[in-house]
Amino acid sequence: MKKILSIVFLVSFAVSFYAQTPAAGVPVTLSEINTALSDTGLAVETRNLLLIQQISKRGIDFLIDRQIEADLRSKQAGDNLIIELKNATARQYFDAAEKCGDKDTQCRTELYSKCIELLPDNGSSYFNRGIWLAEAKEYDAAILDYSKAIELDFEVLDSLYNRSVAYRDKEDYNSALADLKRYLELDERSSDAFAQRAFIYEMLENEAEAFKDYEKAIKLDPKNHYAINGRGNIYFSRENIDKAIADYSKAISIAPLVSSYYLSRAVAYIKKGKYSLAKNDLDKSIEIDNSDPELFFNRGLANYYLDKKDQALEDYGAALTLNPNDKYAFYNRGAIFYEREAYQAALLNFNSAIEVDPNYAEAISARGDVYLEIGDYQRAVQDYDRAIELSMVESTNFFNRGFAHLEMKNYRLAIEDFTKAIELDPKDHLAYENRAAAFDSINETEKADKDRKKAASVKRKSK
C-alpha cells in the first residue's frame, strides 16, 4: 500500500490602501466646477482653492478624462485643482474595485490600472494592483508593481513582504529570500517575516536556518500559528513525531479553522500508527474544507489501516474526483481491489496510475502481479522487466518474474531470477523451493535437493 504524506504550510500577507480618505456629502458636479471657474468676481487662485476644498470634502460625481481636463484648463483650472480631480476620480475607481467580486481579479486590476493612468506616481495603485495580479497568478506583473511601489516609497515593508510572496509563489526562492532579508533589516521584530523566511529556507533545503527562523518567529509572537505549524513540519521531517504533533496541536488550538493543520497532525498520527486519531482529524479537516484531494487521500489511508476498505475506496474515489491525475490514489485503490482478488478492477486502476506517470515503478510492478495472478505470464515478465529497469530492484520482483518464467518453462531464466531473489533476501525459503523446481525441470537433481534442504533450514530458523 503506497503512502503519500501531505503537509501544508502557507504564509501570505496583503493589505489594501485607498488613494485618500473617502469624501462625504453631496458630490461636486462638473457644472458646479465650470460655474465656479467662470466667477470673475474672485481671483483665479481663490476660485481654484475653493474648488479644491469642496472636492476634498465632497468628492465628485464624474470621472475626469483628457477631454474634461483640457476643457477645465482652458477655463484656468490650475495644476493643483486637476490633481485633486484626479485623486477624486481615483477614489471612485478604488471604491468600485472594492465592490468587484472576491474572485474577480480582472475587474480589480483594470480599475487600479485606470488609477495608474491618472496618477502614475501614486504608489497605492501599484500596490493594490500587485495584490490582485498575484491573486491571478500573474506573478511577474505583480512583482513589477510591488517594485514600483517600493520605488515610490509606498509602504515599503508591506511591498517588500508581498513581493517576497510573489517570488515564493513563482518558486524564485532566492529573490524571495533577498526581499525578506531586506525587510528584516528594516524591521527585526516581525514574527511574520521570520516565519515567511523560514519557509523559504525550507524550500532552499536549508532546514537548519529554517528552524532558527521559526524559533525566532515564535519567540516574537507565541501565537504565530504559521510558525508553530512550520516548526512542526521540521520536527516531522526529523522523525521527531511527538514534537511535531505537539506543535500541530498548538497551532490548531490557536487557529482551529485552518484545515491544513488537522491534515498535518493526521499525517503524523498515521506515522505513529494512530489511525483513529488520524481519521478524526481528517473528518474535521474535510468539514472545514472539502476541496483538497489530499484530505480524502489520507483519510482513505487511515480507513485502510482501520480495515474499513469500503470507506477507503470511497475516499480514494473522492480524491480522484478532485484530482483525476492522482497516481497514488489510483495505486491504493488498485491495491485494495488486488487484495480482494478483483483483478480486472485492480488492473484498471494500475493502468490509470501508469497513464498518469509512465515511470511509476510501483504501479508497473503491481500490474505485473495482477498479470501473474490471471496467468498472463508474458505481460507479467514485461512489467517486472520495466520495474527493475526503473531501479525497483527488490527481491519480490525477481521472485515473481522467476515464477512467471517457471510457468512458461523458461527454466534457466527462472533459476537466474530466483538466484537474484535469494541474494536480495537470503531468508526467503520459497525462492529456494521454486529454484529447486526449476532445477528439477532441467534434470539437475543434485542442485534441486540442495535447494530443498536449504529451504527447509531457512523455514525452521524463521519460526
Displacement of CA 286 from its chain's centroid (Å):
17
pLDDT band at 11 (very low <50, low <70, confident <90, very high): very low
pLDDT band at 461 (very low <50, low <70, confident <90, very high): confident
pLDDT in tens, 354-413: 999 999 999 999 999 999 999 999 999 999 999 999 988 899 999 999 999 999 999 999
Whether the CB-CB separation of 137 and 164 falls below 8 Å is answered with: no
**What is the overall mean pLDDT for the chain?**
93
CA separation, residue 324 to residues 13, 288, 291 (Å) = 31, 22, 13
Q: What percentage of residues in the chain have a pLDDT greater than 70? A: 95
CATH number of 9-159: 1.25.40
Q: Which three cell numbers stand for residue 84?
A: 485633486
Distance of alpha carbon 319 from alpha carbon 292, whole angstroms: 8
Q: Quick one: pLDDT at residue 8?
A: 27
Distance of alpha carbon 323 from alpha carbon 204, whole angstroms: 27
Whether the CB-CB separation of 410 and 418 falls below 8 Å is answered with: no
Whether the CB-CB separation of 7 and 236 falls below 8 Å is answered with: yes
Distance of alpha carbon 308 from alpha carbon 42, whole angstroms: 87
Strand partners, 60: 28
Q: What is the DSSP letter of 367?
A: H
pLDDT in tens, 195-204: 999 999 999 9
Closest CA to 374 of 341, 350, 401: 341
pLDDT band at 334 (very low <50, low <70, confident <90, very high): very high
Listed as own residue / partner, the contacts of 173-181 with beta carbons closer than 8 Å and 24 or more positions apart are: 173/200, 173/203, 173/204, 174/204, 176/200, 177/201, 177/204
Domain boundaries, the chain: 9-159
pLDDT in tens, 106-152: 999 999 999 999 999 999 999 999 999 999 999 999 999 999 999 99
Q: Which three cell numbers stand for residue 264?
A: 498535518
User: Residue 82: pLDDT above 60?
Assistant: yes
Distance of alpha carbon 31 from alpha carbon 334, whole angstroms: 75
User: Residue 98: pLDDT above 50?
Assistant: yes
Q: What is the DSSP letter of 154?
A: S
Amino acid found at 342? A
Distance of alpha carbon 160 from alpha carbon 171, whole angstroms: 16
User: Residue 86: pLDDT above 90?
Assistant: yes
Displacement of CA 168 from its chain's centroid (Å):
12
Q: Quick one: pLDDT at residue 199?
A: 97
CA angle 277, 278, 282 (to 5 degrees): 120
Greatest Cα-to-Cα distance within the chain, rounded to the nearest angstrom: 126
Distance of alpha carbon 275 from alpha carbon 277, whole angstroms: 5
Q: What is the DSSP letter of 136?
A: T
Q: Which residue has the cell 521559526?
A: 214
Torsion angles phi and psi, residue 23, rounded to 5: -80, 160
Q: Quick one: pLDDT at residue 392?
A: 87
Q: What is the CA radius of gyration of the chain?
A: 34
Q: Quick one: pLDDT at residue 22?
A: 52
Q: Quick one: pLDDT at residue 391?
A: 87
Displacement of CA 181 from its chain's centroid (Å):
24
Whether the CB-CB separation of 164 and 203 falls below 8 Å is answered with: no
pLDDT in tens, 244-257: 999 999 999 999 99
User: Residue 460: pLDDT above 50?
Assistant: yes
Mean pLDDT is lowest, of 87-96, 294-303, 319-328, for 87-96
Q: Which three cell numbers stand for residue 24?
A: 462625504
User: Residue 420: pLDDT above 80?
Assistant: yes
Q: Quick one: pLDDT at residue 24?
A: 65
Beta strands in 98-137 (DSSP E): none
Cα dihedral 392, 396, 402, 406 sign = negative
Torsion angle, CA of 297/299/301/302, rounded to 10 degrees? 170
Closest CA to 441 of 408, 397, 398, 417: 408
Q: Quick one: pLDDT at residue 25?
A: 76
Q: Secondary structure of the chain: what % helix, strand, coil (to 5)? A: 75, 0, 25
pLDDT in tens, 14-72: 444 444 455 567 999 999 999 999 988 899 999 999 999 999 999 999 999 999 999 99
Distance of alpha carbon 118 from alpha carbon 134, whole angstroms: 22
